[in-house]
């Protein structure tokens, strides 16, 4: 009788979940667990808590959907509160499990959690599954990953590397052991979808669950919107100007391979063009930052990043005004109020506000990255740090940093001022 634990991390889905499939295949009895760590809400050195309300609510919705899917397949999902390094070995001991399955998350804290579980005596079988492309298929090993995105993309395209097909959800899950007793602090109730969430598209039936994610994919890729993605992707607001899949990718309610499959189906029906190519191109950026994290680990989190320049300075007052959307620059402030109020922000505005903090206010890029972590629904450690480092010129960008002129950006992307007018109320952005 083999009893195992499956630990859900940023993979809150049943479809195309290779780590979960491995756990099902190897176990007679399986306990499925999600652990909410207190570290997620601890104070940052910058004066605000690490995790914010938008992401928490979205993840709760994803968990509620996951639980429905698990229960309908004969399984049980436990949601525990505590440190995974402590909760999971305790649970393993209680149920007589020695093996734990999970996905690999390529960031220092998450790698340290897996190492601590191994030190506690668990046989941790972790599986890489968060990228579109399989690292083993790349035309270089991770240590040889090009430092610049264009070189990475060209090498991948030259070698014609393509994603593996997404796998189906398991029809049944192994049952939980009958002797399972719930530890104190565990939550057996379905996590409740609390209220509606501001997503980049205003559909009140949309939530963080895998079911909602798949419905969104179906709708978006059955429409003509992807045909003009390249022309619309720099818009600041509206519906379907970009794919809108990032919040689900971040919690793992969707896998990038499932997104890619829908993209290919769209191309078969409507034809491939520059715009549909550009969706693949952007998904490659996501992969690049994941592999880059795998290659450089904790070095990406240093103040000076990968570069040799001196560490950045910081101005706490200017940073506070930036967080609150009160810098005095109307376009920048609109973006920051949008972010604080909705938990989302267009890619263009992310670039503008990040550049403003780093290059105009001379603040530490890590403070901005932490604010994004606290506010963004789609926060993803690799994409967030990668993009901030890129704009700061302390990472993969061959040009030393990218400054976006905010006046020119406003003229180009908000020529009639409607975005600034939308966020003109100075009270919507909370100060940290």
Proportion of the chain in helix, strand, coil states, percent, rounded to 5: 50, 5, 45
| Binds ligand FAD (CB under 6 A): choice among 282, 315, 360, 397 | 282
Q: How far is the CB of 23 from ligand FAD (least distance, A)?
A: 26
Residue 300 lies near ligand FAD (rule: CB under 6 A): no
Q: How far is the CB of 248 from ligand FAD (least distance, A)?
A: 9
426, 362, 355, 423: which is closest to 391 by C-alpha? 355
Cα separation, 7 vs 118, whole angstroms: 14
- SS3 label, residue 278: helix
Residue 8 lies near ligand FAD (rule: CB under 6 A): no
Q: How far is the CB of 362 from ligand FAD (least distance, A)?
A: 17
What is the DSSP secondary structure assignment for residue 359, as one 8-state letter? I
Phi-psi region of 161 (alpha: psi -120 to 50; beta: other; left: phi over 0): beta
* Binding segment (CB under 6 A) for ligand FAD, from list 68-76, 148-156, 374-382, 410-418: 374-382
Residue 249 lies near ligand FAD (rule: CB under 6 A): yes
* Binding segment (CB under 6 A) for ligand FAD, from list 30-38, 95-103, 311-319, 370-378: 370-378
Residue 333 lies near ligand FAD (rule: CB under 6 A): no
Residue 384 lies near ligand FAD (rule: CB under 6 A): yes
Cα separation, 96 vs 395, whole angstroms: 45
Angle at 405 between CA 402 and CA 406, to 5 degrees: 120
Tokens (6 digits) for 219: 């709708």
Q: How far is the CB of 187 from ligand FAD (least distance, A)?
A: 26
Cα separation, 240 vs 225, whole angstroms: 7
Q: How far is the CB of 215 from ligand FAD (least distance, A)?
A: 16
| Binds ligand FAD (CB under 6 A): choice among 209, 255, 293, 383 | 383
* Binding segment (CB under 6 A) for ligand FAD, from list 28-36, 160-168, 207-215, 387-395: 387-395
Residue 292 lies near ligand FAD (rule: CB under 6 A): no
* Binding segment (CB under 6 A) for ligand FAD, from list 111-119, 216-224, 293-301, 381-389: 381-389
Residue 110 lies near ligand FAD (rule: CB under 6 A): no
- SS3 label, residue 187: strand
Strand boundaries in 182-310, DSSP class E: none
Q: How far is the CB of 196 from ligand FAD (least distance, A)?
A: 19
* Binding segment (CB under 6 A) for ligand FAD, from list 42-50, 179-187, 204-212, 275-283: 275-283
**Which residue's entry shows tokens 């914010």?**
52
26, 175, 18: which is closest to 95 by C-alpha? 175
- Alpha-carbon distance values, 428 to 180, 329, 351, 417 (Å): 46, 16, 21, 18
Binding residues for ligand FAD (CB under 6 A): 233, 242-246, 249-250, 279, 282-283, 285-286, 289, 347, 350-351, 354, 372, 376, 378-380, 383-384, 387-388, 391
């Amino acid at each position: 009788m083999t009893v195992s634990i499956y630990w859900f991390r940023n993979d809150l889905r049943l479809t195309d979940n290779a780590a979960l499939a491995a756990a099902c295949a190897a176990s007679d009895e399986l306990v499925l667990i999600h652990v909410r760590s207190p570290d997620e809400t601890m104070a940052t050195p910058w004066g605000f808590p690490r995790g914010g309300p938008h992401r928490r609510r979205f993840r709760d919705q994803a968990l509620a959907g996951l639980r429905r899917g698990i229960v309908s397949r004969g399984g049980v999902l436990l949601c525990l509160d505590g440190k995974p390094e402590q909760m999971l070995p305790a649970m393993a001991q209680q149920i007589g499990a020695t093996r734990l399955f999970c996905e690999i998350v390529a960031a220092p804290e998450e790698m340290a959690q897996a190492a601590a579980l191994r030190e506690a005596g668990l046989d941790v079988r972790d599986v890489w599954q968060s990228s579109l492309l399989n690292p083993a298929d790349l035309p270089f090993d991770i240590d040889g990953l090009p430092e610049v995105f264009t070189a990475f993309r060209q090498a991948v395209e030259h070698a014609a590397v393509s994603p593996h097909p997404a796998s189906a959800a398991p029809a049944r899950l192994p049952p939980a052991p009958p002797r399972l007793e719930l530890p104190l602090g565990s939550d057996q109730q379905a996590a409740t979808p609390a209220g509606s969430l501001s997503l980049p598209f205003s559909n009140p039936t949309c939530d963080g669950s895998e079911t909602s994610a798949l419905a969104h994919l179906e709708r978006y890729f059955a429409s003509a919107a992807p045909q003009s993605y390249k022309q619309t992707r720099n818009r600041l607001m509206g519906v379907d100007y970009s794919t809108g899949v990032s919040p689900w990718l971040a919690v793992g309610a969707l896998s990038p391979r499932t997104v890619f499959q829908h993209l290919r189906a769209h191309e078969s029906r409507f034809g491939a063009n520059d715009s549909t190519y550009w969706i693949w191109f952007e998904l490659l950026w996501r992969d690049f930052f994941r592999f880059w994290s795998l290659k450089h680990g904790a070095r990406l989190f240093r103040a000076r990043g990968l570069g040799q320049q001196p560490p950045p300075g910081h101005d706490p007052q200017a940073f506070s005004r930036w967080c609150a959307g009160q810098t005095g620059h109307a376009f920048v402030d609109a973006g920051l109020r949008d972010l604080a109020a909705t938990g989302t922000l267009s890619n263009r505005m992310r670039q503008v506000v990040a550049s403003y903090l780093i290059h105009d206010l001379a603040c530490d890029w890590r403070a901005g990255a932490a604010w994004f972590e606290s506010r963004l629904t789609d926060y993803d450690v690799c994409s967030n740090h990668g993009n901030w480092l890129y704009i700061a010129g302390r990472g993969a960008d061959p040009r030393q940093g990218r400054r976006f002129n905010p006046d020119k950006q406003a003229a180009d992307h908000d020529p009639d001022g409607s975005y600034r007018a939308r966020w003109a109320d100075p009270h919507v952005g909370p100060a940290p």
